[in-house]
A and B are shown apart, each in its own frame.
Chain A
Amino acid sequence: MTDPPDEPDDAELWRRIRADDADAFGLLFARHGPRIHGYVLRRSGDPTVAEDVTAVVFLEAWRRRGSVTLDQPSALPWLYGVASNVTNRWHRSRRRHHAALARLSSLPPRRPELVEVQAEAAERSRTVLRQIEGLPRRERDVLVLSVWEGLSHHQIAVALGIAPGTVKSRLSRARARLDPDAPAPPPLTPPTPLAILETPS
């Protein structure tokens, strides 16, 4: 992902955000919000809460601006990590930001066409989520970021704060659980979701 030449990169945006620049924060959302929303929607399978969760992801990013140093060219992997945590601990995160979420509810309703798009995406996600719900959460997190979001092992490691080797081992274990009869773990390059999730009949 390359930023337009007249727009600051994420590192510059984050530097401004750390200096309380709300407009820079808005630009960060415009840049990465749609992808984070898609991830949250697919993780939750629930279009009715996906916008709330997405908003909380960015509110958490804003809240942590003073303690987080961006040492990557893109903030996206870190935002994925925040999104993963917020999704996994939604009840607690919601309590922290309940006042902001109440204000969020005053936004105009989503356009019917958008509601339809989100509902279809959520339905597809629920089908897949049912197939991987038996995985330990740590393995599920890695699998989803790899397959659905297309992140590299390095990006997943940044997102989840784990070593790249741990990413590989969790992916390998997840695939082995989903396909226990396989003679060896599948290759680690991201295949299509169905190739991973189908088990032999």
Chain B
Amino acid sequence: MTPTPTLDAQRTDQLRSFLTVEAAADAARRRPVLTPARRRLVVGATAALLLAGGLVAVQSVGGSAPAAIAVEVDGEWTTVRIADIDADPDAVVADLRDAGFDAERRTLEVLRTDDGNRVAVGLGDDAPDGARGAVSVGGGGEGGAHGLVGLSVTLPDDVAPPSAPGESGRTLEIDPVDAQTSDGGVLVVEDDLLGAGIRFEPDGGVSLRAGTDATIVVATEA
């Protein structure tokens, strides 16, 4: 089937010129904070700090308040954890951005498993705000004093969210090792996420491979 064209040659040329100018201007003013190269620099700098050993706590620039996150670098992977569950979620977002990550706060519908140790959040179409690929794992137990419940990730637009092989898979309980749908079907999410450069740690941390273009979501409970 060949659909009826909805752009004529003249309009196509006008839009092409517009986009070419936009692209050229963007190339000229590259914003390094959003590029993989910038992230590699951040990872490299953090790695240098790690030479002093172990875990690095990242503090807000110029602030004296306790750090809200901890960052750990292992090879090409950088793991972020919430260091203070009672921290203000906005402070967590600020710390993440200071550390060079794209980050945003989002209120999610959070469900807990019977053992209270896992957090379940809708994926894709089921994400409360319609964002695709919102995932949250680990970090169970009670939320913090300001409603902080854990870290999540919004996948890049060009990466498909993990998809359920079964018919339903609408509500998911995600565990990095043993991901299951609400009806017991096993999901193959680990490979999908790893392919996108994202790894969820059993303790609730989120790991990103160098160059991964993902936004870390600071999840607060609805």
Contacts and interface: CB of A to CB of B under 8 A. Distances in A.
Chain A CB count within 10 A is highest, among B14, B22, B163, for B22
A118 interface: yes
B20 A89 contact: no
* Chain B interface residue bracket vs A: 35 or more
Interface stretch (A7-15, A34-42, A177-185): A34-42
B156 A136 contact: no
B160 A162 contact: yes
Nearest to A26: B20
B15 A54 contact: yes
Interface in B1-42: 1-8, 10-24, 26-27, 35-36
B19 A38 contact: no
Contact of A107 (B15, B157, B160): B15
Interface residues of A, number: 64
Interface in A101-127: 103-104, 107-108, 110-111, 113-114, 117-118, 121
B159 interface: yes
A68 B156 CA distance: 11
Contacts of A54: 15
A67 B36 contact: yes
Contacts of B130: 88-89
B35 A66 contact: yes
Given A33-B16, A64-B213, A149-B3, 10 more contacts: A22-B27, A23-B20, A29-B12, A67-B156, A81-B158, A86-B157, A114-B8, A121-B4, A162-B163, A163-B163
Interface of B: 1-8, 10-24, 26-27, 35-36, 124-125, 130-132, 156-160, 163, 165, 167, 211, 213
